[in-house]
Amino acid sequence: MREKGLIGAGMVFCMISCMALFLCSCGKQQPDSAGKVHIGVAYYDQSDTFLNQLLDCLRERIREFETEEFETMITVRDAAGSQRTQDDQVKELIDAGCNVLCVNLVDRANPSEIIDLAREYDVPIIFFNREPVAEDMMQWDKLYYIGADAEQSGILQGELAADRMKEAAQTDRNKDGKIQYVVLEGEPGHQDTIIRTESVVETLKNSGIELEKLSYGIANWNRAQAQNRMMQMIGQYRNQIELVLANNDDMALGALDAYEKLNYTESALPVFFGIDGTDEGLEAVKDGRLSGTVYNDKEGQAEAMARLAVALVSGEGLEELLKEMEFEDGKYCYLSYEKVTKDRVEEFLEK
């Protein structure tokens, strides 16, 4: 009898605790699936100026979706340049409950592991800034890309430089009728490096400017590396360099650093062009150290990422959004670049 009573009491206790557990877990899970977007962001390297500024925009934009019923959360991981590390981080983000991923690949040709993981857990991926190749984008229907059109940025940079050459004859300092130039390139293999370099040179040529390429340096988007490369090129070519075309603002600023370090006077400097319109880049355009830059619309990209993330998680308004933002093939969204010169720079500084 006593034993039976004990078992009975034990069973009742067990049932109550099971029910309590069940209720608790329901309470926990509900906002997770329905009323909450938890974005897991994985990006290739935390030393990247443009991406840090883009992610600040994303944090701001996603906060605007926060309401009483809808919670927003964002967790960011930096891969420090290792695809292996990034693959592991994506697994951790999924384990931590992220219900949508924003991935800035380290190696844009190597997303398979991440895609497989995301598909296994049914977590959609918005790739951004570093574009996967087309075949990989077709691996699953919940893959998207948000970025900008690399060719356009090269064309606009070329137009800026051509305008400058035509306006200011003194750019051709040795008066040989040609512009001696060097290029500072981003990471090899990055869509923006290859295409920007090609299209800027082609645009300049098409506009009737005679060019002579002296050299180029690979500086992986990085200011300090660009300074080094530029020091080497100055060592080799001295005063011959008339134009520096950089694939991004940080490298254009690094080139400027090199001349500053060598105490060049202003009249002996080449002209410099960047791309991005980072905060520092815009300041340099404002004070005339950079002749121009091309605005990489981080606000627009962040906005598209935030809206798409929310639509994917909530299941609401996805089709309309893809149409409104003119997603190509229902997957790709390219925001437009814009030219920035001194006379328009304030407009961009206010963004």
- Whether the CB-CB separation of 272 and 293 falls below 8 Å is answered with no
Token pair for 89: 């981080």
In the complex, least distance from residue 296 CB atom to ligand BGC, rounded to whole angstroms: 5
Q: Exposed, middle or buried by CB within 10 Å (0-12, 13-18, 19+), for 326? A: exposed
CB of 214 or CB of 321, closer to Ca ion: 214
The enclosing H or E element of 221 equals: none
- Whether the CB-CB separation of 216 and 188 falls below 8 Å is answered with no
In the window 26-55, what residues touch ligand BGC (CB under 6 A)?
48, 50-51
Residue 53: name its binding partner from Ca ion, ligand BGC, none (Cβ under 5 to 8 Å by kind): none
CB of 179 or CB of 226, closer to ligand BGC: 226
Which one among 137, 244, 252, 275 touches ligand BGC, defined by CB under 6 A?
275
In 3D space, the residue among 199, 229, 227, 204 whose CA is nearest the CA of residue 215 turns out to be 229
The enclosing H or E element of 55 equals: helix 49-63
Residue 220: name its binding partner from Ca ion, ligand BGC, none (Cβ under 5 to 8 Å by kind): none
CB of 143 or CB of 241, closer to Ca ion: 241
152 binds ligand BGC (CB under 6 A): no
| d(C-alpha 103, C-alpha 264), whole Å | 42
276 binds ligand BGC (CB under 6 A): yes
**How far apart, in Å, do the first and last CA atoms of the chain sit?**
79
Instruction: Please state at what angle helix 279-286 crosses helix 249-261, rounded to 10 degrees.
Output: 60
In the complex, least distance from residue 140 CB atom to ligand BGC, rounded to whole angstroms: 23
In the window 229-258, what residues touch ligand BGC (CB under 6 A)?
248
- Whether the CB-CB separation of 277 and 1 falls below 8 Å is answered with no
Beta strands in 231-349 (DSSP E): 243-246, 271-273, 293-295, 332-335, 338-340
Residue 275: name its binding partner from Ca ion, ligand BGC, none (Cβ under 5 to 8 Å by kind): ligand BGC
193 binds ligand BGC (CB under 6 A): no
348 binds ligand BGC (CB under 6 A): no
**108-134 burial by CB neighbour count: b if 16+ within 10 A, else e?**
bebbeebbebbbeeebbbbbbbbbbee
In the complex, least distance from residue 52 CB atom to ligand BGC, rounded to whole angstroms: 10
In the window 133-192, what residues touch Ca ion (CB under 5 A)?
172, 174, 176, 178
In the complex, least distance from residue 166 CB atom to Ca ion, rounded to whole angstroms: 14
In the complex, least distance from residue 264 CB atom to Ca ion, rounded to whole angstroms: 17
Binding site for ligand BGC (CB under 6 A): 48, 50-51, 129-130, 190, 192, 221, 248, 275-276, 296
Q: Which residues contact Ca ion (rule: CB under 5 A)?
A: 172, 174, 176, 178
